[in-house]
Amino acid sequence: AQSVTQPDIHITVSEGASLELRCNYSYGATPYLFWYVQSPGQGLQLLLKYFSGDTLVQGIKGFEAEFKRSQSSFNLRKPSVHWSDAAEYFCAVGAHYNQGGKLIFGQGTELSVKP
């Protein structure tokens, strides 16, 4: 069965510092991987996704993520965090399309940004 683990429940970084949010997945085949961001009181917005090909994926708002099959990881990174990046971040794994396309989400990592 698919599963996603985000080991860090809450992370605090200083504005301008670099950021890495961890995500580990469990899936029997090549997964479809996603990162979403949720601001307070809002729905989830897609940051980036990986299907195949280049393992370093660029997304919106200056985020990138790297797929590492050997580590079953898909960590999210940003070189310089802005105060507006404070939000909750969700990693998700999707089954192959012929299994219905549903996404399984991790528990989320809440990001706080110090001035």
Partner 1 sequence: DAGVIQSPRHEVTEMGQEVTLRCKPISGHDYLFWYRQTMMRGLELLIYFNNNVPIDDSGMPEDRFSAKMPNASFSTLKIQPSEPRDSAVYFCASSPEVKTNYGYTFGSGTRLTVV
List interacting residues with partner 1 (CB under 8 A): 32, 34, 36, 41-46, 49, 51, 90, 94, 97, 100-108
Cβ at position 15, least distance to partner 1 in Å: 27
| 59 vs 81 by CB, closer to partner 1 | 59
Cβ at position 6, least distance to partner 1 in Å: 10
| 23 vs 106 by CB, closer to partner 1 | 106
Cβ at position 4, least distance to partner 1 in Å: 10
Cβ at position 22, least distance to partner 1 in Å: 16
Q: CB neighbours (10 Å) of residue 106?
A: 22
In whole angstroms, what separates CA 22 from the centre of its chain?
Answer: 7
What is the enclosing helix (H) or strand (E) of 94?
A: strand 87-94
| 32 vs 63 by CB, closer to partner 1 | 32
